Each structure stands twice: as structure tokens, then as C-alpha cells.
Amino acid sequence: MQGKVVIVTGASRGIGKQVAIELGRRGATVVVAARTVEARKTLPGTIGETVAEIEAGGGTALAVQADMGVEDELLRLVATTLDTFGRIDVLVNNAAATSGRAWGAPLLQLSRADWQQQYDVNLNAPFTLTKAVAPIMAAQGGGRVVNVTTGHHGGDDYEPAPGIPVPLAYPSSKAALDKFCNLVSGELKRIGISIVNVNPGFVRTEMVDLMEQSGVDTSASISITIPTRVLCHLATCDNPMQYTGRVIQAEEMIEELRS
């Protein structure tokens, strides 16, 4: 990854943070994007802390505060990256709206604003960023887009985890993101860009730690190293086009990589 520039959204904590640190360790210049500049009372992690960890490992990184629900801030993120480093090779769309009133609200209690906020972060942000970086990547001879999605799109027996309300807007927006990946892959392939979605599974993150403290059964959660390794593989592998347009299950791919 020497000489490569990567944007990772939602990189102040969780999967995004671990992917940013690992790609920095592999030599990439990493642009760490998220809203969190000051640590929250309950959730740890800031973009500055992620940058500090990358730099402590000998890597190069830049923190850019950006709200994924605001188009101007997304375009500023891309412009800042290009102005600072002169290229963009990989975009990891990891940020997602996973809390707030919209998470577990049923249809009759879900406001249009809450519904739209989920779509702005989970679908419209990847669309906006992908569209913005595509001409840049094409001019360089190619690039990669990796989106973090979910494998749960509802159903009568759907339960994200014991004790967690069943969401409506979140999986709906992620299902749309999967279809976006499928549909746009051909167009992007023609200009040398691969795009792939990864379902990380129920991952042990800082958020899951908080859920456990509140009494939620998190025994089925998996190590964060599983999606981190898969996402980094897709960002660095020799032939990314073999995956383009697909929705990949992290636990299934990790078994392939191990074999």
C-alpha cells in the first residue's frame, strides 16, 4: 500500500478505526473521517486518536471531521484528500447510523425525518462519495470502493441480537446499498474501479460492549479482527475485479482466506 491514499469513513471507533490502523500499518496514507473530534461520555474514540495510533505505528494519516449526512461535508472530504495528497486509491464506506430514535422504531412511530437520516448516512453518503471519487480514480488508472453493509434485511423471525429492537430504516437502507453495488459495478468496472459490499456480521465493537453492560446477550458476537482482515484484503488484493458487484459475508470469506 506504499504510495496509496485511502479514505475510511466512520473511523473514530469500531471496524472503521481498526481498518484505518491496519491499512496505515501496511503503508497506506489514511484519511480518517468521522464526526467525532471530542470524546463522548459513553463511547470512546475520536478521529484524532485514530490518526495518533496510525502515526505511532510509523504511518501517515489525516483527520477530517465530516458529517456523513451532509453533502457539502462529503465533497469537502474528497477535495481535502485530493488537495493534500494528490490522489485517492481506495474508499471504504464504513460509517453508518446505528443509534437514535430511528433504530428500533416501528413504522407507525417512525418519522420521515428519522427515516431520511438513516438513508442519508447509510446510502446517500456512499453514493455521493463514490460518485465524487470515481473520476479521480479513473484518471489514475483505477481504484476500489468497499462498502460495509448488513446481512439482515428483515422478516418475521428477524432479531439482530437478543434484547435489541428490530430496526426498519437501517436494514432497508443497507439493502438499497447492496442493490446500488450490484447495479453500478458494471459502469465502474469499465473505468477500472471495483466495488464490493461486506457484511461484517455481529461484531464485538465498543457499541456492543455498551449493549452487554445494559444486559443484552452479546455471546454471539464475533471478533473485530474478522471483518478488519476481510476489508483490508479487498483493499489490497491483486485482483479486486474478481469480487466486484458482490455482497460478501465476512465470516465466509475469512474461511477462504485461511484455506
Kindly list the catalytic residues.
170
DSSP 190-228: TTTEEEEEEE--SB--HHHHHHHHTT---TT-B-THHHH
Q: Let me know: does 222 contact 251? Beta carbons within 8 Å.
A: yes
- Between CA 2 and CA 121 the distance in angstroms is 30
Place of cell 484518471: 139
Short-list 145, 138, 134, 130, CA closest to 240: 145
- Between CA 129 and CA 67 the distance in angstroms is 12
Residue 169: its H or E element: helix 169-189
Long-range contacts of 55-58 (CB under 8 A, 24+ apart): 57/21, 57/24, 57/25, 58/25
**Residue 117: partners with Cβ closer than 8 Å, 6 or more residues away:** 69, 97, 100, 102
Q: Output helix, strand, coil percentages for the chain, rounded to the nearest 5.
A: 45, 15, 40
**Residue 121: partners with Cβ closer than 8 Å, 6 or more residues away:** 68, 69, 95, 96, 97, 173
